[in-house]
């Protein structure tokens, strides 16, 4: 396998990769469909998905383009009718697959494949460990019990829990950290709320209005330092999108790429992709990747670039345990 996920305490800005990770990776939005109603969701509603046959062509193109890692997202990727076929095609071709799921969908065929394969990882969403609060955040009932059942049914060594930190759940983060450590999951990712600068979020014009403020971030970072020390050797805690690290370049359109649910390749999920769709229309995955590598001479316009211009360094060094 060309790459693997780094499991270490790390503070990064990029949503795709760890600071020290290598290889080409693609975030592929298999479908925009979802069974939950999270207010912080960045995925524009109603984009649909490709027929399974076309998705498998894209999977083959990713293999041919020597992509090292594919993050399969949604919506909820396990609602995609060809989820098992796509995961199997990629994983059997030595591509590292990371399934980004909300954890509430039981998919026996995919779960069997995960248990049988060494090249599939799973990230699950867990914003709180309070059952009632979880149902409010997710907009559905009994969600926490379903997520816990999914965690227990899969190989824990290949699991990662993602906790999107927002005004909706800031007070719940410490309990999430301790719950994940007790559950035996080796990695927890705390993420800020993000989206691209152009399209609307799923349930509100801009989900980034749910971000915590600077004072709350400092409190969160203090918590991260304490919990890293408390759970060292049992749990890795990663943070994403909170703080720019000076040694972390933007690799959008170079070694990170995004495929939307219609199969269009863009530099990143948070770039302003309106300006790229016509440029790569009709190109296959490998051709689109080469187009971006040949034509992007600097960091493309994105929600990240706009934020970094306004806030060049956020809390530099405060996250180091």
pLDDT band at 271; cut points 50, 70, 90: confident
Domain membership of residue 321 (yes or no) is no
Q: Is residue 318 domain-resident?
A: no
Highest mean pLDDT among 9-18, 97-106, 199-208, 306-315: 97-106
Percentage, residues of the chain above pLDDT 70? 85
The answer to whether residue 230 is domain-embedded is yes
Lowest mean pLDDT among 100-109, 203-212, 266-275, 294-303: 203-212
Mean pLDDT of 40-50: 71
The answer to whether residue 117 sits within a structural domain is yes
Interval 166-193 mean pLDDT = 95
Dihedral sign for Cα atoms in the order 27, 83, 86, 150: positive
Supply the mean pLDDT for the chain: 87
Q: At residue 314, does pLDDT exceed 60?
A: no
How many Å is the maximal CA-CA distance in the chain?
Answer: 52
**Are the beta carbons of 154 and 107 closer than 8 angstroms?**
no
Q: Is the pLDDT confidence value at 59 over 60? A: yes
Q: What is the average per-residue pLDDT within 25-32? A: 92
Give the residue among 82, 97, 29, 14 at the shortest CA–CA distance from 265. Answer: 29
The C-alpha atoms of residue 236 and residue 10 are separated, in whole angstroms, by: 8
* pLDDT tens by residue, 113-148: 999 998 899 999 999 999 999 999 999 999 999 999
**What DSSP string describes 286-306?**
HHHHHHHHHH--SPPSBHHHH
Average confidence (pLDDT) over 217-235: 96
Cα 40 to chain centroid distance, Å, stands at 13
Distance from C-alpha of 225 to C-alpha of 32, rounded to nearest angstrom: 35
Tell me which residue range forms the domain holding 119. Answer: 10-310
179 vs 119 pLDDT, higher one: 179
| Residue 292's pLDDT band (cuts 50, 70, 90) | very high
Assigned domain for 114 exists: yes
- Structural contact between residues 69 and 94, judged by C-beta atoms closer than 8 angstroms: no
291 located within any domain: yes
Q: Indicate whether 204 belongs to any domain.
A: yes
Residue 316 scores a pLDDT above 60: no
Q: Which range, of 34-43, 61-70, 147-156, 223-232, averages the lowest pLDDT?
A: 34-43
The verdict on residue 56 lying in a domain is yes
CATH number at residue 264: 3.20.20.70
- Which carries the bigger pLDDT value, residue 15 or residue 321? 15
pLDDT at 317 > cutoff 70: no
* Alpha carbon distance 294, 276 (integer Å): 14
Provide the number of structural domains found in the chain: 1
Q: What percent of the chain has pLDDT over 90?
A: 59
Q: Please indicate whether residue 55 or residue 74 has the higher confidence score (pLDDT).
A: 55
Overall average pLDDT of the 311-317 stretch: 48
Q: What is the pLDDT of residues 185-218, one digit of tens each?
A: 999 999 987 766 666 656 667 777 788 898 999 9
Indicate whether 63 pLDDT > 80: yes
Instruction: Look up the pTM and report it.
Output: 0.91
């Amino acid at each position: 396998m060309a790459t693997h996920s780094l499991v270490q305490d790390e503070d990064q800005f990029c949503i795709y990769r760890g600071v020290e990770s290598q290889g080409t990776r693609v975030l592929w939005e298999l479908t925009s469909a979802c069974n939950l109603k999270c207010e912080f969701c960045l995925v524009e509603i109603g984009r649909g998905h490709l027929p399974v046959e076309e998705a498998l062509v894209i999977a083959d193109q990713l293999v041919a383009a020597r992509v090292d890692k594919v993050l399969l997202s949604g919506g909820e990727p396990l609602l995609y009718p060809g989820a098992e076929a796509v995961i199997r095609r990629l994983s059997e071709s030595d591509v590292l697959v990371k399934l980004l799921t909300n954890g509430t969908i039981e998919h026996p065929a995919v779960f069997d494949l995960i248990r049988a394969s060494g090249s599939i990882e799973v990230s699950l969403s867990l914003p709180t460990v309070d059952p009632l609060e979880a149902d409010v955040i997710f907009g559905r009932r009994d969600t926490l019990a379903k997520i816990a059942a999914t965690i227990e049914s899969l190989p824990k060594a290949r699991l990662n829990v993602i906790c999107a930190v927002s005004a909706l759940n800031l007070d719940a983060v410490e309990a999430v950290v301790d719950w994940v450590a007790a559950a035996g999951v080796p990695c927890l990712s705390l993420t800020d709320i993000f989206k691209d600068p152009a399209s609307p979020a799923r349930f509100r014009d801009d989900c980034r209005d749910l971000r915590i403020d600077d004072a709350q971030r400092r409190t969160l970072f203090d918590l991260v330092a304490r919990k890293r020390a408390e759970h060292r050797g049992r749990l890795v805690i990663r943070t994403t999108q909170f703080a720019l690290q000076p040694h972390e370049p933007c690799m959008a359109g170079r070694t990170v790429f995004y495929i939307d649910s219609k199969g269009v390749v863009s530099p990143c999920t948070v770039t302003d992709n309106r300006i790229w769709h016509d440029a790569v229309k009709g190109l296959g995955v490998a051709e689109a990747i080469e187009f971006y590598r040949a034509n992007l001479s600097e960091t493309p316009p994105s929600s990240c670039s706009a934020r970094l211009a306004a806030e060049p360094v956020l809390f530099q060094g405060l996250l180091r345990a």
